[in-house]
């Protein structure tokens, strides 16, 4: 029996099981999912990209089928984990595509390991401003893990699925964004998964909103072909973050999808994939250039010193 080309694969890094999907041949593209999601986020995207590219979609630590240890779930730790996976797979550089939390991880990868980043694609990305959905801010509150233990146990998961199915049968549909967020939360029936989820949220969000922002260093992405893709009906992270980031990244490309929400990689894959392919076709991969990175950094430092 032939293995499915996008079947989940496993490796061990630093004693922890890491799951990923990998298929295709050609230049590498790394697809990084968001909070409570997994590599299946890219189920509609991978088959098309794999016709021309080597596509790697990991389950971040604490997500999907990867291990869920007590540990560091910061953006930097996730970036380190993806770098280590690429080293293990023998991949030296890639285009990084990140959705939501994954956008923050992709930016962190480009910042920590610029020599590995050929292009950067930010899809409804976190880390570009304070605003974020109230539901995620509430998860950051002290004691939220105990509420989740009660609310997201296996019996309730089954009940929620049954109610959702009943509503659809009688012709009622929940608003897409809250329904999709709740669906992702109700997959957290495992205590370790809920703990990892809460730790991940608290690493980037507090009650006031997102507390980790890349906006002060987006100028460093000027040497990397960068595209920002957003839905103008995003209720998780507002589209205003896209326009602000576009202004801060020299030469970046901005694509706003009319009528689209937050979950572009699967809800609007038919529009997202052609945009991504066009970006790949019309840009030249960035070449590793530590001197250029140093020049951009030191130039900005001199500018700030001159104004003080």
Q: Residues with catalytic annotation?
A: 100, 234, 262
Copy the structure tokens of residue 297. 């950094």
Among 95, 26, 92, residue whose Cα is nearest residue 57:
95
Question: How many Å apart are CA 299 and CA 234, to the nearest integer?
Answer: 36
Report DSSP letters for 44-100, one per residue.
TTHHHHTTTSEEEEE--TTSTTS---SS--SHHHHHHHHHHHHHHHT---EEEEEET
Q: Are 96 and 117 in contact (CB under 8 A)?
A: yes
CA atoms within 13 A of residue 1's CA, in its CB half-sphere? 3
**Start-to-end C-alpha separation, the chain:** 68
Q: Are 290 and 70 in contact (CB under 8 A)?
A: no
φ and ψ of 95, to 5 deg: -85, 130
């Amino acid at each position: 029996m032939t293995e499915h080309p996008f079947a989940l694969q496993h490796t061990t890094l630093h004693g922890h099981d890491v799951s990923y999907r990998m298929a295709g041949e050609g230049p590498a593209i790394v697809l990084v999912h968001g909070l409570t999601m997994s590599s299946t986020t890219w189920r509609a995207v991978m088959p098309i990209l794999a016709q021309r590219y080597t596509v790697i979609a990991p389950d971040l630590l604490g997500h999907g089928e990867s291990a869920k240890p007590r540990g560091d779930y910061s953006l930097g730790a996730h970036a380190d984990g993806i770098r280590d996976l690429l080293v293990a797979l023998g991949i030296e550089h890639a285009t990084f595509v990140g959705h939501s939390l994954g956008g923050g991880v992709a930016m962190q990868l480009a910042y920590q390991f610029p020599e590995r980043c050929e292009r950067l694609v930010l899809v409804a990305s976190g880390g570009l401003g304070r605003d974020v959905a109230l539901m995620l801010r509430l998860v950051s509150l002290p004691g939220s893990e105990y509420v989740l233990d009660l609310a997201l146990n296996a019996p309730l998961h089954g009940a929620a699925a049954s109610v959702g199915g009943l509503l659809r049968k009688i012709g009622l549909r929940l608003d897409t964004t809250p329904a999709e967020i709740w669906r992702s939360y109700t997959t957290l029936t495992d205590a370790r998964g809920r703990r990892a989820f809460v730790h991940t949220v608290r690493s980037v969000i507090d009650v006031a909103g997102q507390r980790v922002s890349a906006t002060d260093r987006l100028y460093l992405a000027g040497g990397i072909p960068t595209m920002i893709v957003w839905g103008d009906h995003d209720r998780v992270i507002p589209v205003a973050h896209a326009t602000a980031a576009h202004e801060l990244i020299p030469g970046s490309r901005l694509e706003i999808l009319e009528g689209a929400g937050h979950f572009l990689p699967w809800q609007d894959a038919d529009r997202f994939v052609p945009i991504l392919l066009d970006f790949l076709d019309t840009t030249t991969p960035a070449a590793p250039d530590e001197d250029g990175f140093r020049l951009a950094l030191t130039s900005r430092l001199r500018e700030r010193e001159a104004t003080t």
